[in-house]
Amino acid sequence: MEAKQYQVIIVSPNDPAGKEEKRSSQCVIISPDEMNKFLKTLTIAPLTADSEGYPTRPKIKFNNKPIRVVLDQIMTIEKNRIIKTLGELAPPEIKKLKAVLKETFID
């Protein structure tokens, strides 16, 4: 399966540590396609429906439902942990996500 930046995926659980959950979770791929093509890993951010507003957790819509991207919990996983691809973020949602990533990690 080809993984693409801004795809929403379901990831199988790993050995949890800290605040990670033991169940599978929805995530968005944030690593660029060039990396996704050649590496065995992906950089992802979890999605949540029940998070309070925080600057590093932008609220976006996916499949007409509001969700938050938890950019303060970015992680790298192996591609073999992908269970299913659910779709891709729409361009306006990608723009919101990029703005928060840039503000958080670049500016």
| Two tokens, residue 33 | 């396609």
Pure H helices in 43-90: none
Helices (H) and strands (E) in the chain, counts: 2, 7
Is the per-residue pLDDT at 8 higher than 60?
A: yes
CA 88 remoteness from chain centre = 11
The domain locations on the chain are: 7-105
CATH number of the domain at 7-105, please?
Answer: 2.30.30.110
Contact call for residues 76 and 41 (beta carbons, < 8 A): yes
Q: How many Å apart are CA 57 and CA 59, to the nearest integer?
A: 6
Task: Provide the pLDDT for residue 42.
Answer: 97
Query: Is the pTM here over 0.85, yes or no?
Result: yes
Could you report the per-residue pLDDT of 10-57, keeping only the tens digit for each?
Answer: 999 875 555 555 567 999 999 999 999 999 999 999 999 877 778 999
